[in-house]
Chains A and B, each alone.
Chain A
Amino acid sequence: MQDSPSATSGPKAHSQSTFNLQRQASTAGGASSGASPLKTSQNPAPIHLKPKTTNVRRMRRIISEDAEWTLAIVPLLTELCIQHIVKNFQNNPILKQLLPEHQKKVLSHLPHDLPLTVTANLIDDENYWHRCCIKRWPVCHVAKHGGSWKRMFFERHLENLLKLFIPGTTDPSVILDLLPLCRNYVRRIRVDQFLPPVRLPIPPQAEEQSDSGSEGEGNEPEKDHCQLESLVAGLKHLEELDLVYGVKDCGMNFEWNLFLFTFRDCHSLAATIKACHTLKVFRLTRSKVDDDKARILIRSLLDHPALEELDLSHNLIGDRGARAAAKLLSHSRLRVLNLANNQVRAPGAQSLAHALAHNTNLVSLNLHLNCIEDEGGQAIAHALETNKCLTRLHLGGNELSEPTATLLSQVLPINTTLISLNLTCNHIGLDGGKQLLEGMSDNKTILEFDLRLSDVSQESEYLIGQVLHANREATRQRTLSPGYFMAPITNNSTENSVG
């Protein structure tokens, strides 16, 4: 209204235009800094109702930052209604009854800090949850949460709560109240710290105890962590459980007590995962799981209907635990087994190899940083002769030497499923390297073969690299040409290699 005559009058317009530039800059700055949908919804039609704002914006013909700007003096009734709905959404959430276009408008104006009890089961709009996530966390990888912002919001919200849960201090209803809201959306729980219970009179004692770390066991019942049983039972779509019983960022306040995975924890966790029939991935890493605890956990996982991946890396599992895992291999549909950085030795590896020989499910086996030595390595190499399923094998840092390499070089031409083999940080030796090269030259399937820091001569390593390259080219040709469909396998392999 007021803006229209500015262009017509000659000298006046000129003087105004200089002013105009200044105004533009200031409004632009203001708009960009404070322009949030929330703000515009709070004071509806700011241009026309307040005389001051009209003065401020007089010179602007088109305000590009403000999508709501119109020439209409009186806002439409629908606009007013929508604004009212937005304002009172917390008390009276009206959404499903609206037309789709109005729903969209309401959703775009809703504040992100509405209580979850209102929004959780009412709003499915991804944009809204996107805003909530962006507001709350600076870095968001929605792809890691199945591409759904809502799922991401609830998963991370739950994770945060669990991370900061202190048994005995925090009210368990904090988590259990959330359960009816998030049960339909949470598919994964990934918690990388469980805080131990706080003992109030302890500070002086703690310093004394720090002298001898072995004393902790007497107080064990008091150091149980958060119990997940009721939570997991409530989540009906839970597929992945990724837990670390430990404390992050303790720095120089390190105490052994902070990293205790107690027997009671173990028992309750075992019962939890046994009851959860939808669970596909179970990870329990860096939690000082020893043989006994591993056996308790694995026993509960026997004949689990859905489990596909088990990750117990960075623990203290020995031969007995490995034997239990071998039993699990033949009593489940496990596809991925990770026992990296444990204390598995030759007997454990032998039992694993025995299970592996006739297994038809396992795709990936990781025994990185164990100590299976030549006996275990030979057993596994023998198992590869008959196995027709395993595609990835990691035997890095296992004190392997020439005998294993010899056996492997005999197996490699026979086996046609293995795609990736890792033998880093072993003592293969020069002769072992040559033998492996010999074996590789007759293999057409292996695409990755890592022999770094294995005392192998550079020449043989380079030549093996050439063979690998040839294999890769061949598979590429096959995947490109119609009729062969090897693509899914190679894709999986690349994904796994990243992890």
Chain B
Amino acid sequence: MNPSGNIGVMEQNGDDHLATPIHGPSVHSDNPQERIQARRLRIAARQEARKREALGEYLDGKKENEEEQSRSYKQKEESRLKLTKLLLCGTELVTNIQVATDIREIHRRVEEEEVKRQRLEKLENEVKTSQDKFDEITAKWEEGRQKRIPQELWEMLNTQQVHCAGLIEDKNKLISELQQELKIKDDQYVKDLKKQSDDISLLLERMEEQVKNVMKNFRQELIHIEKAFELERQELLSSNKKKWERALQAHNAKELEYLITRMKKVEDYEKQLNKQRAWDCEEYNTIKIKLERDVQILEQQLQQMKATYQLNQEKLEYNFQVLKKRDEESTVIKSQQKRKLNRHFTIIDAEKFREIWLMNEEEAKALAQRAFDVDCVIHVQHLGLPWKMPDFWFLRNVGPISLQQRKSAAQILEELLLQTEDGTEEAVSEDESYLDLPKQVSAKTTRRILMLLCDESGFLIESKLLSLLLPLEKSECYLLRLDAIFSALGIESEDDLYKLVNFFLRYRSHRLSSAKSTSIYTERTSLMSALERMSLLSQADRRSQVSKSEVESIVEQETLQGGDYESLVDKELREKEDLSSPRLIHPNDVLKILEAFVMGLKKPKEIRPVVRVKKDVRDNSRDSEYWESLAMVIPVSKQSLWDALYKALEKYYLVLTQRAKLLMENDSLEQQNAEMQSLLQQYLQAKVNAELQIPPTQGFRMPTK
């Protein structure tokens, strides 16, 4: 409720003297409630002051708010205090009964103790007196025994009896008294029971009353608190409402003001609009007239333009026709030129290559010849062995090593068509003339198939080309058309062409074999399988081709490999060929076959580009071998022989030079000797010798010569 309460409690001692509230509850009051109230107010005031300082503004509205808030708080506090007091009083009222019974019990105990003490005292007294009496009586018995006179004895006995009776009476009296007391106690017990039940009923009554009372009060206080809140809410509501109304009024006034100004403006604008409209109307009319005149002029111009356009169109049409014609011509020329150009360039290249090759070869061969000469000299002169000119294949070779050139499909076509065109009789020698073609396929059949294909698949050729081909020769026409068809089908190489032809043949054979059960479906499937086999074959071909490119021709290679399948296929095809003639292929089937073929061809196409590149370039793998073998005309064994010979000769040369030197020395020594002899002779024959006592000649013997 009041979180800073502890702060206030802590501060209260220190600040008691500083802040003394002038009015309202005082901190120094005797009433603790008042003091608490005063402290609370002080704390609230302090907080408020702090808040104001923080905000730096003093708003009247806030003050009001504070007051209003405190009203409900006050009510709550009031109710709480009242209720706690009520509870306290109620419990006190209820416990009062207990306390009352307690004090009654204490009083009873005290009284009981007193009574008990008295009773004991009384009993003791009684015992004493009765004992006295009893003693008296017993003493008298002795007295009686001494009495001899019966009368006296009787008298004494009588008195004794009276005494005893008195004693017994006393005792009985006591007993009855005690019994009386007991009875009273019994009554007391009953009374106590009654009293207890009364007390308990009273207690219950009070408790119930208390519960009711408390409930009532709690309700009442709740209502009070609610009322306080309600009141506060009402006040808040009314104040807010007032504020709201004030604001609304201000708003209304402003709205009205705005409305009036707006109306004024609207009027103004309307006037302006009218003016504007009149002006616009006039302007519009003038412009309209002017524009209409313009339109007339423009229409005239348009007519003129149209006339010129017509003229131009005719001119252009004529030009277009001319150009078209020219274009057609140029396409024809272009295709012709292209083919020519292609062949020309390859020829020139080959020529150049051949020249260079020959030149180098000549040089190399000259060198080799020199080496052979040297070898011959060495063998004949030094070793005394007979020498034989070695015979190598490459020495005999002149010109570049040429593999059989692979022809393009178009080339073959050309050849084929041209050849067959010359004469049908030539077909006898077809085997020799077409080494490249697989043996089983005759040129004739090939040609027929191609013709058929050409006739049936005209749709693959561009219409423009067709129109251009019309004036051409028949064979040329066929050639061009086939060219176009092949390009459309993706047939480029010799192999592809043969494959196509083979495919046709196979199809035909297949059809013949399954002539009875002419189901197209089976045809298709078998066709497909055949095609697959074909593609497999071709792949194998290609692989072997790549690996063994030094073998001159494919045909040779295939025969070398001794392909089992090849022979098998051969056999098959042979049989079929016997059975068939190309005419048996119905023109209507051509399209189907083509479709199947193209489907089959698609797969291996991916490998094709690489292969093609290799085909175009001249195969030069054997070249290096050729040149290397040229370089190695003198084998290594011979070279080592040469080396050994060289070394031996060198040593021989060394010995010879030493010998020559020694001979030279010998000569010089001989010469010296001769000179010395001549000198000695000279000296001996001199006169000096005679003049000497002892002639030196005596000392030594004359060297005899």
Interface residues of A (CB under 8 A from B): 251-252, 254, 368-369, 396-397, 399, 424-425, 452-453, 466-467, 469-470, 472-474, 477-478, 480-484, 497
Contact = CB atoms under 8 A, between A and B. Distances in A.
Contacts of A397: 102-103, 105-106
Given A466-B31, A470-B36, A472-B84, A480 B2 contact: yes
Contact of B99 (A254, A452, A480): A452
B6 interface: yes
A378 to B, nearest CB: 20
Contacts of B6: 477-478, 481, 483-484
A396 B32 CA distance: 28
Contacts of A252: 190
B3 A369 contact: no
B5 interface: yes
A477 B37 CA distance: 12
Interface string B459-501: 0000000000000000000000000000000000000000000
Contact of A473 (B3, B36, B189): B36
B289 interface: no
Contacts of B33: 469, 473
Given A399-B106, A477-B9, A482-B3, 19 more contacts: A251-B193, A369-B102, A396-B102, A424-B102, A425-B99, A425-B102, A425-B106, A452-B96, A452-B99, A453-B100, A466-B30, A466-B32, A467-B32, A472-B84, A478-B6, A478-B9, A480-B5, A481-B5, A481-B6
B1 interface: yes
Contacts of A470: 32, 35-36
Interface in B1-43: 1-3, 5-6, 9, 30-33, 35-36
A162 B193 CA distance: 27
Interface in B89-103: 91-92, 96, 99-100, 102-103
Given A397-B106, A466-B31, A466-B32, A477 B96 contact: no
Interface in B64-102: 84, 91-92, 96, 99-100, 102
A369 B84 CA distance: 29
A219 B102 CA distance: 35
A402 to B, nearest CB: 18
Contacts of B32: 466-467, 469-470, 473
The CB with the most chain B CB atoms within 10 A, among A368, A469, A483, A484, is that of A469
A254 to B, nearest CB: 8
A126 to B, nearest CB: 28
A399 B103 CA distance: 10
B106 to A, nearest CB: 5
A61 to B, nearest CB: 42
Interface string B418-462: 000000000000000000000000000000000000000000000
Contacts, number: 58
B102 A477 contact: no
A355 to B, nearest CB: 26
A466 B36 CA distance: 12
B568 to A, nearest CB: 79
A480 B8 CA distance: 13
Most buried by A among B2, B5, B193: B5
A369 B5 contact: no
Contacts of B100: 453
A478 B105 CA distance: 41
Contact of A424 (B1, B35, B84, B99): B99
Contacts of B2: 480-481
Contacts of B190: 252
Contact of A453 (B35, B36, B99): B99
A424 B106 CA distance: 11
A339 B406 CA distance: 132
A425 B103 contact: yes
A289 B2 CA distance: 53
Contacts of A424: 99, 102-103
A348 to B, nearest CB: 17
A369 B1 contact: no
Contacts of B105: 369, 397
A252 B9 CA distance: 62
Interface string B98-125: 0110110110000000000000000000
Contact of B9 (A369, A453, A467, A474): A474
Contacts of B91: 497
Contact of A396 (B31, B99, B189, B193): B99
23 contacts: A251-B193, A254-B189, A369-B102, A397-B103, A397-B105, A399-B106, A424-B99, A424-B103, A452-B92, A452-B96, A452-B99, A453-B102, A466-B32, A467-B32, A470-B36, A472-B84, A473-B32, A473-B33, A473-B36, A477-B5, A478-B6, A480-B2, A483-B6
Question: Residue among A254, A424, A478, A483 with the most chain B CB within 10 A?
Answer: A424
B106 A369 contact: yes
Contacts of A452: 92, 96, 99
A278 to B, nearest CB: 33
Nearest to B189: A254
Nearest to A368: B102
Contacts of B103: 397, 424-425, 453
Nearest to B35: A470
Contacts of B36: 470, 473
Contacts of A484: 6
Interface in B189-232: 189-190, 193
Nearest to A497: B91
A219 to B, nearest CB: 22
Nearest to B100: A453
A469 B33 CA distance: 8
Contacts of B3: 481-482
Contacts of A453: 99-100, 102-103
A144 B30 CA distance: 44
List the 5 shortest-distance A-B pairs measured between CB atoms, nearest first: A470-B32, A481-B6, A425-B103, A481-B5, A425-B102
A470 B81 CA distance: 11
B10 to A, nearest CB: 10
Contacts of A369: 102, 105-106
Contacts of A396: 99, 102
Contacts of A368: 102
A452 B106 CA distance: 14
Nearest to B193: A251
